[in-house]
Amino acid sequence: MNEQNELGLILNRSVEMDKISDFMEAMLTQMAREFPGRDLTVLAYTPSEPPRKIGTGRLNAQTRDMTYTPEE
């Protein structure tokens, strides 16, 4: 995790595109336990060379709202 509370993940090819938002929510939930009170961001990348960003998950620490935004 970097100074902006962002974590980049290169996803396995077996992760289905329609399951990425569920995976991101699970990651953010676990990260919130490790880093309470912090706004968190998870960036998902393809396992290609170079990796390509496919989505962003965010957790607002105050409201506990989680969002997932796929790349266009």
Residues 14-59: tens digit of each pLDDT: 989 899 999 999 999 999 999 999 999 999 999 999 999 999 999 9
Is 59 contained in some domain? Answer: yes
Number of domains forming the structure of the chain = 1
Q: Domain span at residue 25?
A: 6-70
Is 1 contained in some domain? Answer: no
pLDDT for the residue numbered 72:
83
pLDDT for the residue numbered 1:
86
**Residue/partner pairs of 57-66 with CB below 8 Å, 24 or more apart:** 57/21, 57/24, 57/25, 57/27, 57/28, 58/28, 59/28, 59/31, 59/32, 61/32, 61/36, 61/37, 64/32, 66/24, 66/25, 66/28, 66/29
Is 56 contained in some domain? Answer: yes
**The whole model's pTM is what?**
0.87
